[in-house]
Structures are given as structure tokens and as C-alpha cells.
Amino acid sequence: MFSPSVKMCSEQPLDHGLGQAAGKSALLDHAAATAADMRVVRGAGVEFESTLPFAGLHQLLRRFTGRLDCLPAEQTQALRAALGLGSAAGGDRFMVGLAVLTLLADLAEEQPLLCLIDDAHWLDQSSAEALLFAARRLEAERVAIIFAARDMHAPEFPTPGLAELRLSRLDGTAAADLLALYAADLDHHRRAHVLREAEGNPLALLELTTAHRQGRSTSPYPAVSTTSKIEQAFADRISRLPEQTRTLLLVIAADDSGDPATVFKAAAHLGAAVADLESAERRSFVSLHEDRLMFRHPLIRSAVYHGAPASRRFAAHRALAASLEDDRAAWHLAAATTGPDEHVAALLEKSAQWAQDRGGHAALATAYERAAALSPDPRDQGRRLAVAAQAALEAGQLEHAGSLAEQASLLLTEPVSLGRVAEVRAMVADLQGDLHKAHSILFDAALSLVDVAPDTAGRMLVQAAGSAWVAGDAVAAEKAADHAETLPQARHARAMARLVSTDVAQWSAAARELDGEVPASSLRAAVWAACLTSLLRDDQIALRRAFAVEQECRTQGAIGVLPHALLALSSSQLNLGRHREARASGLDGMRVAEDTSQPRIRAHLAAVLAHLAAIAGEEERHVELKATMDTVDLPDLRHEAVWSLSMLELGLGQYDVAADRLADHSVEQEVPGSWLADQVEVAVRAGRPESADRAFTRYAEWAGHIRQPAIVSRCRALLADDRKAEHHYQHALQLGSSATGESRAASHHETDLLGRLAPQELQVVRLAATGLSNKDIGAQLFLSPRTVGYHLYNAYPKLGVASRGELAKLDLVG
């Protein structure tokens, strides 16, 4: 099957770097040459620009900035800010990715589009995120994207969800054939030497042949990698150029923007001029292409830059800094600075505002981290590391954010600043699924703030109790609540701690108290409110709350909060028996959680989908989802895994197996929940009346505090003899109908219609039924308008309609 997005990389070498640079650039050239009916746009990662936010994206899309106003307003604003074209501050970093997707799709409406990105491992993180976000969502668009990257001696370029083509070395026969074409003038002995040294690397075959022609052998370097041999061959050839030409090449290599005006202005400070470029052009080291000075191969740049003495490299960077009037000047000064320098550190900090305005969180983190390294005063160093940690967290660099926060905590002394750093460390631990660590960090930090910042201390103790609740640690939750007794948030902390209680009355009172206190002051607070209502099984209210916050997340482009909202929504839909909708919400949530590096939320969404797989009897699907759940070690996820697996076994008629699995869960020592009703059925089917009675007694106690009378009646029916069971079943059906507020006939009609649609088709048609355009739907579902149209095209015949107007009559909005 054709994949519209591909990562192409060199084969992982078997030893010291063999097979690198194995023709990836040549294959991109071939792709461009054979794309006769396609519009081709090219870009490349550049090492020095890897710290500049959206530098790679600007290089790729600079020809199309006049098209930005055709995008939805939020996307236009985000992409304009990212490319430095507007005064507005940057928004959610993933909104930029959606804008890129929409722009590429719009361009492809005119002509099929091929995007080629070489040296993707050097892309700045902001550009890489945006391009990968778009690439993973290519479905019906006439767009293909190929990323080319190196595996060794280069930064990682992970591409989950994209197909990969790994380039291997040429075998002996192919290498000999290539050399026979290119080096027929070399004698047999020298050809054999080149074959041996090149080790199947096409570029090495060509460059080492050139070295032999010029009377130089690579034999002094027999123990180094092929890449090093190629680079040395380039370095030897470069060393024969005139001094001014080498100076000019060094400036190009140090600058890496390729802007001729900048390069020649800086080179003039060092005694070089435009005329000095000629000898390098004749030897094909560098060329002027589309108003950009470019090296023929990245290893030429590496040979130029690393082959020059440090003093000359520093001089080139200082010359560039003197020639620039934007924020890049600070980075060039930093590159020429080897020790603490507050002046340069302050310039870097000032330049970071540019990254912040563009929404370049990764670049912001890098700027502050480098500024910290140049700070002579430990207090400034700690302050800058703290900002870098927060920015890295916003960029999704969880491990790096944690490391920066740890470093900052060793340098800071002011309690409130230490508290902010602690919150970063705790959030990293939470997102990685280590709730015990998150609790410990928050608890310890809060104690240090009780006297100096009681409001902050109280808030952190509430968060600490919440982390302990999710981790199922009642002792830790109570401890946090105890220390909050004298603080403004004491009631909230105490209620949070009681959520871990196995006492039904305490649990219910705590949940209702929290439900009444949560102000919808933010999207995260609104998600929390929906979750609390779901815990209390006010399912219709929970559904409405979750749906409202999900829509608001999409409207605002708050993709970081969206997986949390989709978890609340899919859980509510599952509780109400709206299985197809729950599956669509859960799948979308998992995809976005993966994009936003939130493994814990992804695991909880997998738990919802595992229940749906169990209900449908999908064994293989359940195994896959359980594997995702197992990536995060939390008590509630372990419990969910046991519960869903027992439901799968129940549906398959494996009653004793399911009963044995649930027997290890003491109904008295677990937090009560809907799982108890399922345990009643398992025990009845397995012929274990005592276990069934014990589970029912516990469930009935819990149901007395929430709105679940229909399930109680169903359990009574399961436990009753045949004479009484019918009465209880009928009663359960009547109660179930009046909880949902809809007739069984209408529900059946809607379910029958929804059953015809794939999950994403369902999401699209629901929004289309409200009258939204394809572009508006795409903005909310993080899809391109063309993909939206594709799903509608497939959905219409399944529903027996031909237009949006007819969709509205089908009551699909719900």
C-alpha cells in the first residue's frame, strides 16, 4: 500500500559507522526528477538553524506565504506567528501543524504536491513537529512527503506512524559496476583499494576516486568510518583552495542561512569577497540556488567548518554577529564564546522573546539553556534554567524538561521559584505515569511554602492529594490533606483524599463536594468537572459537560488538553452504551495523546477502548490495547485490565476463567464502581452464588449513592429465580429508558445508522449535520478539508443521503 509520508534513512551500520550517507540525497534528486506532473518543494535541515524556531518550515514554505490568509483564522494566525510574519503571539504548537496540513492540501488542489526534506535530523524541533503532525494526517490529499535522515553521528529523528525506507550499502557487484563507470581510468589495484575503503557507500566511491586521481590515498585512515573518510577527502581538496576562498566557505558554513547578503557582508570583515567564490563553484563545493548559497553535500560543510582551527571559527561567528541585526546575532556571539559572559547571556535571553512570540517552545528552551550556561551568577543560571524547563515541558520534551528543572532546583534558593520548578518536575512525572513521584515532589515543595506562600502551598497539596488518588495511595492522600488543614484549600484537599476511600458514603460525599466546588475557570478545570460527574454516574450530565469541553478544545486549538477531554467523553459514551461514538472518541484521543507525548492519558484511553473490544469479542484488538495500558504502571489501569479481560472471557463463555480472574479482587477492599455489577454476572454464570451475593451487596450500597437503579434491578434479575427474574428485567428496562430520556425505538434507529459508519466518518458527519463547512470541520478534527470531503463522500451512501441538509434530518448530533 502506498504511504503518502515516508522517512528514508541510511541502514544501521554493522560496525564503526558503515553505510552512512548512502545516497539519500541522490534518491531525493531522483524523486524530484521523476515527479513530472507534481509541484515539487524542497527543504533541508541545517545544523546551525536547528536552534531557530520554524527555520526549516520557513525554508520550505517561503514561496507560499501569500496563501496564508486563505486558511481558517486561527491557523493563519498561528502560521504567520511561526514564520515571523505577524505581530501576534504564537499559539498552540500543534495548531501550526494543522495550518501546514491545510496549506499543503490547498496547494495540492491545484497540482499534486511532492515535499522533499533532506537532512531532516537537523530540522529545528518546531518545524519537525509541524511537518510530522501534517504528514501523519495525510489521507485523501494529493500530497507526498519524503524525509531523508542519517542514523549515525546525527540527532535522532523519530517518526512514529510513518513508513520507513532504510538504505543499505551497495553490494560488491553493484559497487564494482558503479566504479567501472566512474573510474575506468584507475588501474585495477587502485580500484580495488577504493572498493575496500568505500565499503559500499556510493558517495565514498566517487569522492575517494577523486582523491586517487589527485594523487592522494586514504590509506592513513583505515580504522575510521566511511563518513570520516569522505569528510577527510573533502577536507584535503578544500585545503588546496586559496585562503580567501576557504574563509568565504567557512562563513557560509558558520552561517547556514545561505543568505548571500549576510554571507558576503560578514566575509568582508575577514578580507574575503564575492570573487573568491569562483574557485569553490568550479569544484562544485558550493552553488547559488534560488538565491541561496548551498553546499553540494552536508559533509562538505562539515569538512569546511570542523577542518578550520577554533580561532577561525570564532572569528567567522563574530563577523556574522556584526553583520546581523536580528536575534541570530546573539546565537553567533554565543557560538564564539567559551566561558561565562553575562552580556552574551542577556542577549540570548532577549532573543528568546522572539522564539516565544512565534510559539517556538523548543527554541525558547534552547535559548534559555544556553544563556544559563553562559551566566556567571548562579542565581541567574538557576532562573534561566527554570524558564528553559517550563519551555521544554510546553514543547513536549519531558525528559529534558525534568533534567533542566533538576539542575535549576540545585541553584535556586528562593522558595516560590523552587516551588514553580517543582511543579514542572511533578508535571513531567505525571505525564510519564509516575504518580508517586509527582505526589512526593508536590508534597515536599508545598511544605517549604506553607509560611511564605500559603495559597500556593495549599494548591500544591491539593494536587499532591490528587496524584495520590490516581495512584491509589490512600495513606499519601491523607497525609497531604492533613498538612493542608490550616490552609485555604483544606476542604478541597480533604475531599480529594477521601476519593481513595473504600467507604461508599465517604467516597460519594467527597465526589459531590468536589463536583460542587470546581469552577470552570479553565479547560482543564472543565475536564475535571466532567470527570467528577462521570464518577458519580450522572451520565447524561457528564456527557454534556465532556462534549462541551471537547468542542471548546477544538475551537481554541487546545490540542494538549484535548486528549483529556476525549477521555472524559469516551468514558461517558461508554457508560451510556453509545459504543460506536465511544470508539471514535477514544481512537481520536489516543492519536492526539501520542502526538502530544502524553503516555498516561493514552493508556487510560486504551482502557476505554479495551472495554469496547471486550464487549465486541475482539480478542486480538484487546491484546494490543492491553499492551498499551501496560506501558503505564498504575493500580487503576491494572484494575481496568483485569476488568476488561474478564468481560472478554464472559462474552466468550469462559465463565470459570473470568470468575477466577476476578476472585483475586476483594469487593470490600476495592473502590466501588460499575465493575461490581459485571462481577455479579460473572459469578452467576460461573455458578458461584456466594460471590455473586457479596458483589451485589457491595454494588447496591454504592448504587444507593449514585443514579444507577436500572443496573441494580438487572443484578436482581440475574440473582432471582426464573419466576421473578422477568419482573426485574422489565423494571430495569423501564428505569433505563427514563434515565436516558429517549425511546428505545429512537435509540435503535440511531444505533442502526451509526453502525454503518467508520469512527472518523461518524465524527465528520456529526459536525457536517450542524452545518459546518469542510474547512471548519477539518479545523476541529485536525484533518485537511479534502480528507473531510473524502469521509463525507464515503458516508453519504451508507446513510442513504446526498447532501448536508439531509444529514440534519437523521438526528445524528445526539
Name the DSSP class of 377. Answer: S
Q: What is the DSSP letter of 5?
A: E
In this prediction, residue 16 carries a pLDDT of 29
Average pLDDT value over all residues in the chain = 84
pLDDT band, residue 752 (cuts 50/70/90): low
Predicted confidence (pLDDT) per residue in 269-318, tens digit: 999 999 999 999 998 889 887 788 888 877 788 889 888 999 999 999 99
Range with the poorest average pLDDT among 156-160, 501-505, 762-766: 501-505
Residue range 462-476: mean pLDDT, rounded: 89
Residue 444 pLDDT: 94
pLDDT score of 11: 45
Give the per-residue pLDDT at 86.
Answer: 64
Domain 751-808 architecture: Orthogonal Bundle (1.10)
5-167 under CATH 1.10.10, yes or no:
no
Average pLDDT over residues 551-575: 86
Q: pTM here? A: 0.73
CATH superfamily entry for domain 523-744? Tetratricopeptide repeat domain (1.25.40.10)
Q: Given this chain, do its domains 243-324 and 751-808 carry the same CATH topology?
A: yes
pLDDT given at position 10: 58
- Shortest CA distance to 709 belongs to which of 680, 671, 677, 736? 736
Q: pLDDT tens, 180-193? A: 777 777 777 777 87
The b-or-e profile of 700-739 (16+ CB within 10 A means b, else e) is: bebbebbebbbbbbbbbbbbeeeeeeeebbebbeebbeeb
For the chain, the structural domain boundaries read 5-167, 172-238, 243-324, 523-744, 751-808
Of the pLDDT bands very low, low, confident and very high (cuts 50, 70, 90), residue 12 is very low
- CATH of 243-324, picked from 2.40.50, 3.30.1450, 1.10.287, 1.10.10, is 1.10.10
pLDDT for 564: 92
pLDDT over 70 (residue 216):
no
* Tens digit of each residue's pLDDT (9 = 90 or more) over 666-706: 665 667 778 888 889 999 999 999 998 988 888 888 888 87
Per the DSSP assignment, residues forming a β-bridge with 166 are 9
Distance, in Å, from the CA atom of 520 to the CA atom of 531, rounded to the nearest integer, reads: 13
User: What is the structure's pLDDT at 237?
Assistant: 85
Q: Which residue has the higher pLDDT, 787 or 16?
A: 787
- pLDDT tens digits, one per residue of 769-781: 888 888 888 888 8
Classify 103 as helix, strand or coil: helix
pLDDT of residue 700: 87
Kind and range of the H or E element at 167? strand 163-167
Q: Taking residues 213-233, what's their average pLDDT? A: 61
- Check pLDDT > 50 for residue 2: no
Quick one: pLDDT band at residue 92, thresholds 50, 70, 90?
Answer: low
Quote the pLDDT of residue 72: 84
Amino acid of residue 67: R
pLDDT value at residue 352:
82
Q: Rounded to 5 degrees, what angle do the CA atoms 706, 708, 713 make?
A: 140
Contact 633, 599 (CB under 8 A): no
The more confident residue out of 737 and 647 is 647
Counting residues of the chain whose pLDDT is more than 70, the rounded percentage is 90
Task: Count CB neighbours of 283 within 10 A.
Answer: 16
Query: Does the structure show a pLDDT above 70 at 658?
Result: yes
Average pLDDT over residues 724-747: 66
